[in-house]
Amino acid sequence: MSAAASLRRIGVPRLILHASVLVICIIWLIPTLGILVTSFRDAGQITSSGWWTALTGAAETSAARLGDPASARQDGPNYIISGSVFDGGDVKSGSVVAFGTRVAAPTEFEAGKEADLGDGEKLTVNTDGSYSYVKSGPFDDKRGKRIYLSITQPPNFTLNNYRTVLTSAGIGQSFINSLTVAIPATIIPILIAAFAAYALSWMQFPGRSLIIALVVGLIVVPLQMTLIPLLTLYNDIGNLFGVSSRSYVGIWLAHAAFGMPLAIYLLRNYIAGLPKEIIESARVDGASDFEIFVKIVLPLSFPALASFSIFQFLWTWNDLLVAMVFLGTGKDQLVLTGSLNALLGSMGGKWEILTASAFITIIVPIIVFFALQRYLVRGLLAGSVKGG
């Protein structure tokens, strides 16, 4: 089959569509790929070259010191120092491409060729790192000569970044803390919001639209504005009962309150869109509001519940600010984001830790997403109403 025939079979518009989807996907994935590759490289590599060079062996220039002048042996009129540039441990082994004796021109001479340094000195560095440094008279330097090498090294990856993050003190505790915060802080607002959403869409009572408008209005209130008043309230309550104002209950309630307006709004829109016929026939059959909610509305709104719980879980899992304020900053109170952040140090800038941490924190949200994802695609309403 010719290319033209297969092109005709697929169709040009579809081909363009597929190609553009592919391109967008690739562009979308590049940053993640970059972070993934970076997380497997050591700090030195990250600063010296880009992650896209990681898969091909890169040429690195480094400095090495030749053997001590005292180790020179005499051969006729010449003095010779020989050895391998990899002996000193200054340089990681690889194959030498070029060398030089001045820092301003580190690749002046090709490996394997003799370089005339003037003053009767000659230096040869071979690709395997062995060198011979010959002078027509005795060497009079105090220290070994410093030379510069361009060395190609095979691609090199390390698991050390992950090891550093996973074995840092307190990381296990903070992982548990994060789960303790995120799970109830996801379930509580959904439970309450589902009840509210049903009432606001299927029960008739005065002031209903006003309440809906109020809830929608609350979505735009930035949570940062509430931090100080809310913490003051917690402190007062804590003092009244003689308990600490920083507790899990406090942060659950805070997260629940911050997530509630959006939850009610999303769920109400979904539940209000359920077919009237189902609810009405249930009423005719004598079901109470509570029965309708539990037996009909709740199962039918699973896709909306699932998508909101993914949102809320991601938000509580990734949150740092609310946890720092309402749970505290002590070692045993830190959530995962907090303790990973502390690993970066006072000045930040540790890319190797940052990227490895990113892939460690991503695990739990991914598990949650895949666990709930099937509810999103299942067509629960298919065929529930005749002609609907």
Partner 1 sequence: MKKSFWIGTAFVALLAGAAGAQELKFAPGEDAKFNWKSYEDFKSAHGDLKGQSLTLFGPWRGEDEVLFNSVLAYFNAATGANGKYSSSENYEQQIVIDTQAGSPPNIAIIPQPGLLADLATKGFLTPLGQENADWIKTNYGSGEDWIRYGTYKGKDGKEAYFGFPFKADLKSLVWFVPENFEEAGYEVPKTMEDLIKLSDQIVQDGGVPWCIGLGSGGATGWPATDWVEDMMLRTSSAETYDKWVSNEIKFDDPAVVGAIEEFGKFARNDKYVAGGVAAVASTDFRDSPKGLFDIPPKCYMHHQASFVPSFFPADKELGVDADFFYLPTYASKPELGTPVLGAGTMFAITKDSPAAKAFIEFLKTPIAHEVWMAQASFLTPFKGAKTEAYANDTLRKQGELLTTATTFRFDASDMMPGKIGAGAFWTGMIDYVGGKDAKAVGGDIQKAWDGLK
The answer to whether 229 and 305 are in contact (CB under 8 A) is no
**What minimum distance in Å lies between the beta carbon of 381 and partner 1?**
28
What DSSP state is assigned to residue 162? H
The arrangement of strands across the sheet holding 95-100 comes to 59-65, 146-152, 95-100, 109-110
What DSSP state is assigned to residue 367? H
**What minimum distance in Å lies between the beta carbon of 44 and partner 1?**
6
Two tokens, residue 326: 């309402």
Q: Which is nearer to partner 1, 184 or 274 (CB)?
A: 184
Q: Which is nearer to partner 1, 39 or 177 (CB)?
A: 177
Q: Which is nearer to partner 1, 61 or 124 (CB)?
A: 61
- Cα separation, 261 vs 120, in Å, equals 84
**What minimum distance in Å lies between the beta carbon of 201 and partner 1?**
31
End-to-end Cα spacing for the chain: 46
**What minimum distance in Å lies between the beta carbon of 380 and partner 1?**
23
Helices (H) and strands (E) in the chain, counts: 16, 9
Summarize as ranges the residues that interact with partner 1 (CB under 8 A). 43-44, 47, 61-63, 102-106, 146, 148, 166-173, 175-176, 179, 227-229, 231-232, 234-236, 245-246, 320-321, 324-325, 328-331, 338, 341-350, 363-364, 367, 371
Q: Which is nearer to partner 1, 198 or 313 (CB)?
A: 313
The answer to whether 348 and 186 are in contact (CB under 8 A) is no
**What minimum distance in Å lies between the beta carbon of 155 and partner 1?**
20
**Widest Cα–Cα separation across the chain:** 115
Q: Which is nearer to partner 1, 8 or 331 (CB)?
A: 331
Q: Which is nearer to partner 1, 218 or 342 (CB)?
A: 342
- Cα separation, 354 vs 38, in Å, equals 10
- Cα separation, 314 vs 319, in Å, equals 8
Which DSSP helix (H) or strand (E) runs through 236? Answer: helix 227-241
**What minimum distance in Å lies between the beta carbon of 252 and partner 1?**
18
**What minimum distance in Å lies between the beta carbon of 233 and partner 1?**
9
- Cα separation, 299 vs 302, in Å, equals 6
Q: Which is nearer to partner 1, 310 or 325 (CB)?
A: 325
Two tokens, residue 81: 């120092």
